[in-house]
Every structure is written in structure tokens, then in C-alpha cells.
Structure 1
Amino acid sequence: MHSLEHLRIFLRVAEMRSFSRAAESLGTQKGRASTVVRQLEEELGVRLLHRTTRNVKLTEDGRAFYQRARDLLSDFDSMSTMFAGDDVALRGRLRADLPTELARTTLVPALPGFMARYPELELELSGTDRQVDLVEEGFDCVLRIGPIGDETLIARPVGRLRMVNAASPVYLARHGTPLTLEDLRQQGHRTIDYSRTLGARPCGWEYPDGDGYATVPLPVALQVNSVQAYEAAGLAGLGLIQAAYTGIRRHLESGAMVEVLPDLRPEPLEVSLVVAHRRNLSRRVRVFMAWIEDVLAPYLD
């Protein structure tokens, strides 16, 4: 029977893809972490990790063992708190991945209240705009915008993130403020195009059309592949943008940007909380996911 401590060491090495970083985070020696994993492999009769000079990576057997080990530790955590009330402190580590801009503008600014309420929680947040591997990278939950793209994951819809059309006052002073779709063409408006792949065909300007949404092609002033660059281009007056309200709210409130065509907003973006499996979600994960939903509620349609 493997001790819970050994399983925790293995999980941390797998998640951090490094014996030295895992040992440092756990307050132990690199040699001990290496010995623990080697002993596990010898007892199981399989190789759990591919080791290179740069990093370590789970093998197929390692992925299966990793998932069972996480389940076992989750079961233990659940048993430890099964009779605990809501007023009992949350303890343990929680690792989550959040979209970069949503984390920067909305979720992280709200964290002080959450962390003050649960000071013993060890929170690890990743901010990325890629689809992370929940199992291999060790995430307890992930907040995703748009399609999930993996039917093996469990997704809980949170809502639809409100989108707005916007431009800088400088841009509108040059081109005029559009009041209709036809104004977009007649006034010679240009857009900033966001695409994860530079050189991809522009998506066009999106607007509601009957029961759905359609697009109208407009000249593209600039194509970018990051949300930060997209927002910066709009602020600089390079063109019109269609962005999540959470990301540019502060610019709208300060007057640095102006909403245009408010009756023709683009389709809201689906937002979901994603976990690797529904079974035995720890109390700390459930509480954190509920907090995210509460924080985002004012920005969802």
C-alpha cells in the first residue's frame, strides 16, 4: 500500500514536470522525490514517467496511475471533510487555469475577498489562452470560453459572456459614429481582426440576424493573435473591435473607448467550468467554482 505522502510526491512531480521544482514546492529533497517515484515504478512494474535532461512526462501507464492516485487523494479529502459544515476552513491545494484577460480584469481583482475567507487554501492559478491538458498538467478545474473540444471532459455551463462593439473617441472622430450596418460601409470603417492563426481569413463583423447571427465583411486594419494586442489596437484608434464587456469595461467607464451599435452586439461567448471527471470533486473545488460563477454573474447574458 503506497502512502498518501508518496502519492502526493508523484502527483506533484507529474504536474510540475520536474523533480527539482516538485521537491522545492513540497519542502523536500530532489533525491527523495526521485527515490519515491522510482520505488513506485519498481513496485508497480511499469514506468510512470519519461525522463529527459529537460523535463519529465507521464507515460500512458503513468497517466492511468496519475488519475487513480488523484481519485484516491480526492476520496481521502472528501472523507476528511464529510461532516464539516460550511464554516469549516478550506485546506489543501487547488490548481486552476483561467483565460488570461478574464483573470486579469475580473477574477484576480476579486480574489482578495475569497482568499481572506479561506486563508488556509493553497491556490495555484494559471492564466493561458490555450486548451490545457487537465490530467497531465494537474488542474482541478479550468474556466473555458467557447467550445470545449474534448468529449472526455465534464463541462458545466456558467453562462454566456456579454460582448460589445467599441472604438476609441479618436477613431470615431475620424470616421464618424455608425448607427446602422450600412453606416459601417458608407463611413469607411475598418476593423481589428483577432485570430489565433495569423494570416487566417478574417471572420467579418458579426451582428444579430433573425434568430441567429451573421457577418458582414469589412476592411481589416490589423490582424492580431492575442487578446491584449486586440484591446490595445482598439484603444490606439486603429479600428473597431468586438470584445467581451469584462475586458474593456474599465475603458468604457473612463471614456477611453465608446460602445457603438449597442442594438447590434455580437453573439455572447459560451463560458464553462471544466473538470476531468465529475466523481468526488473536493469541497474546495466546488467552493472555488461557485465563487467564479458569482463573480462572473453580472457580466453574463
Structure 2
Amino acid sequence: MDRFQAMRVFVRVVQAGSLTQAAQTLQLGRATVTQLLKQLEAHLQVRLLNRTTRRVSLTADGAAYYERALQLLADLEEAEASVGSARSQPRGRLRIDVPSPFAQQVLMPALPDFVARYPGITLEIGASDRAVDVIAQGVDCVIRGGELRDGGLIARRLCGLPLALHASPAYLARCGTPHQPQDLQDPVHQLVGFRGAGSGQVHLPQLSRGGQVLTPAMHCRLSVDDGNACLAAGLAGLGIICLPTYLTAVHVRAGELVPLLPQWELPPMPLHLVFAPNRYVSHRLRVFIDWMTAQLQHGLA
């Protein structure tokens, strides 16, 4: 038995909460995971996990071993990364989840530089705006916009994304152009609401000018949970959209979207890179964090 492999499997099972999900994220067969756990328990001569048909839970001995295993794996990873780090290249699989518009507009165009620098890293990228359980789903890191709600995760702020209100010419011809924040409260106007991954709630735009802050009570008949869908709804004339300007700029230049209330400002949307605190930070994750931070050091237009 490879004790370090068995230890990694044990830690992953605890984090995932099930043998099946742990096996999937480790790319191992469920039978292999089960066998390694049995071998580890036999070697230690203690029961580490209580197993049911759906879930696993730690025994008292398992909880104590889990904390030590996390530290041992972190020390091992750090030792391996430090030996010959100047000449060694990070290797292995890196699982990332980012918002779909960010993947399309920012990450993918920049990614050739990363893969050229680090040919030993295999990337698995999920593109969605949905909430991701970093630990249970075995994801190394996620990038998300907006305020964070899970205080148990480590977050690195990458930049602030400028926001603006836009609508299509067809929408404005039909509903009129708002000239003051109060105009947005007219029932004729509709907001295409964006449901945040953390809360699932639609947040109304907050407008400020000269120390005055207003949050118009806009009407919302349509809400989405994906940035690309929100943009498409705005282009289709379904309502007023509030999105980062890096998504809308090309459509403004093409005359497909019109900026609204440009004399009023919206607070920038914070963009964070988030990862689990109890997971040792691998060499491959460290280089991705540093690379992504450098890419966004001047923010996004």
C-alpha cells in the first residue's frame, strides 16, 4: 500500500462526503478507493469512517487523523515543490471554475500564454455562474464576481469590474430613454435581473453622484443566472441590463447597446479567486494564481 496515496484518498473522501464523488474527482474507480481505505484502516488498526449507502462521516479517531493527514500532505507538497523548484515545472491536473462570460472574453484569449509557460499542467475548466462547492466537488479554485458569502474560503481579490447600465436601441424606442434614476422606477421599464451565485437573489443597481446614493426600485419580470444570458437578453430588447463594461463595450461600439445615465456611477463589482483553506496549495495552483493576478493587475476595461 502506498500510504501517501491512501492518505490522499482518505482526505478527498472526507472533503467530498462520499466515496463515489471522491472517486470521480480523483479519477479512480470506486472499488480502488474502497480498497485503499480498508488498507489504511487495517494498517492503523482503527476505524476512520462511518459508512452508509449515501454518506460517510468521521469517527473520533478519523477526525484526529484527518487533521494530521492534511498537515502531512501540505508538508509533502511543499517539500516536493521546494526541491529543484528553479528548474522543475509544475505538473498535474488543475480544476478551475469561472463565469462563462469571463471564460469567453478574458481567460480563453489569455490562456495560450499559460499553457506555453506550463506544459506539464492539464487544465479542466468549468464555465458557469452557478455556486460551486469547492471542497465537495474537488475544484482547485473558482473565480467569481460580487460579494463573497462563504467566509470559510480563502479569497484573493483580483480587481474591480466597472459596471454600467445599458439597453438596446429597440428597447429605448419602445419604452423611452431614462434620464434620471427615478425614471427607472416607471413600470414601463424592466430590469433583466442577475441572480448571484451566492444568494440567488436579484440585486438592484446602486447609483451614486456627488455623494448622493440611490437604489431605484426597478421592475423585474425576467432574471437569469448567467452573464452571457443577461447580455443576450439586453441585446434582444428584453430590458435594461447591469453588467461589467468588458462584456458590453464591443456592443456599444457596434451600436447594439446604448449606455444609460452615464453621469451616474455604479460601484465596481469585486472579482475574486477563491480556494479552500484546508487544501494544501499545490505548485500548479500557486503558479495559476500568480499568473491570473498578473493578467488582471490593471483590471478590465
Structure 2-normalised TM-score? 0.77
Instruction: Choose 264-273 or 43-52, whichever is displaced more.
Output: 43-52
Deviation string 1:94-133 (CA, Å, 9 cap, x unpaired) is 2333234323432233223211221111323334434433
* 1:201 to partner: Cα distance: 8.5
Structure 1 pair 132–221 and aligned structure 2 pair: CA distance change class (3 A) = closer
Partner of 1:22: 23
Give matches, 1:41-56, under 5 Å.
41-42=41-42, 43=44, 45-48=46-49, 50-52=51-53
Say if 2:70 and 2:279, in contact at 8 Å, map to a contact too. no
Say if 1:178 and 1:187, in contact at 8 Å, map to a contact too. no
Matched letter for residue 7 of structure 2? L
* 1:230 to partner: Cα distance: 2.3
Deviation string 1:143-193 (CA, Å, 9 cap, x unpaired) is 232333233332222222221211112222333444443554689533222
Structure 1 pair 63–222 and aligned structure 2 pair: CA distance change class (3 A) = farther
Partner of 1:129: 129
**Distance (whole Å) between structure 1 residues aligned to residue 107 and residue 9 of structure 2:** 30
Structure 1 pair 79–165 and aligned structure 2 pair: CA distance change class (3 A) = same
Partner of 1:31: 31
* 1:289 to partner: Cα distance: 1.0
Matched letter for residue 145 of structure 1? G
Count of residues in Structure 1 that have an aligned counterpart in Structure 2: 296
Partner of 1:282: 282
Partner of 2:235: 235
* 1:80 to partner: Cα distance: 1.8
* 1:234 to partner: Cα distance: 0.8
**Distance (whole Å) between structure 2 residues aligned to residue 14 and residue 21 of structure 1:** 8
Instruction: Choose 281-290 or 119-128, whichever is displaced more.
Output: 119-128
Say if 1:245 and 1:299, in contact at 8 Å, map to a contact too. no
Structure 1 pair 127–185 and aligned structure 2 pair: CA distance change class (3 A) = closer
Matched letter for residue 46 of structure 1? R
Partner of 1:116: 116
Matched letter for residue 174 of structure 1? R
Is the partner of 1:142 in helix, strand or coil? strand
**Distance (whole Å) between structure 2 residues aligned to residue 226 and residue 75 of structure 1:** 39
Is the partner of 2:218 in helix, strand or coil? coil
Matched, 1:146 2:146: yes
Matched letter for residue 287 of structure 2? V
Is the partner of 1:263 in helix, strand or coil? coil
Give matches, 1:167-246, under 5 Å.
167-181=167-181, 184=184, 188-195=188-195, 203-211=203-211, 213-246=213-246
Matched letter for residue 163 of structure 2? M
Is the partner of 1:192 in helix, strand or coil? strand
* 1:19 to partner: Cα distance: 4.6
Matched letter for residue 275 of structure 2? V
Is the partner of 1:74 in helix, strand or coil? helix
**Distance (whole Å) between structure 2 residues aligned to residue 137 and residue 24 of structure 1:** 7
* Percent identical: 34
Matched letter for residue 46 of structure 2? G
Is the partner of 2:215 in helix, strand or coil? strand
Is the partner of 2:78 in helix, strand or coil? helix
Matched letter for residue 234 of structure 1? G
Structure 1-normalised TM-score? 0.77
**Distance (whole Å) between structure 2 residues aligned to residue 60 and residue 255 of structure 1:** 62
Say if 2:93 and 2:121, in contact at 8 Å, map to a contact too. yes
Is the partner of 2:192 in helix, strand or coil? strand
The answer for unaligned runs of 5 or more in structure 1 is: none
Deviation string 1:241-264 (CA, Å, 9 cap, x unpaired) is 111223334433443323222332
Partner of 1:76: 76
Matched, 1:96 2:84: no
Say if 1:94 and 1:284, in contact at 8 Å, map to a contact too. yes
Q: What CA RMSD, in Å, does the superposition of the two structures yield over aligned residues? A: 3.8
Instruction: Choose 146-155 or 43-52, whichever is displaced more.
Output: 43-52
**Distance (whole Å) between structure 1 residues aligned to residue 227 and residue 64 of structure 2:** 35
Structure 1 pair 124–162 and aligned structure 2 pair: CA distance change class (3 A) = same
Structure 1 pair 205–92 and aligned structure 2 pair: CA distance change class (3 A) = closer
The answer for unaligned runs of 5 or more in structure 2 is: none
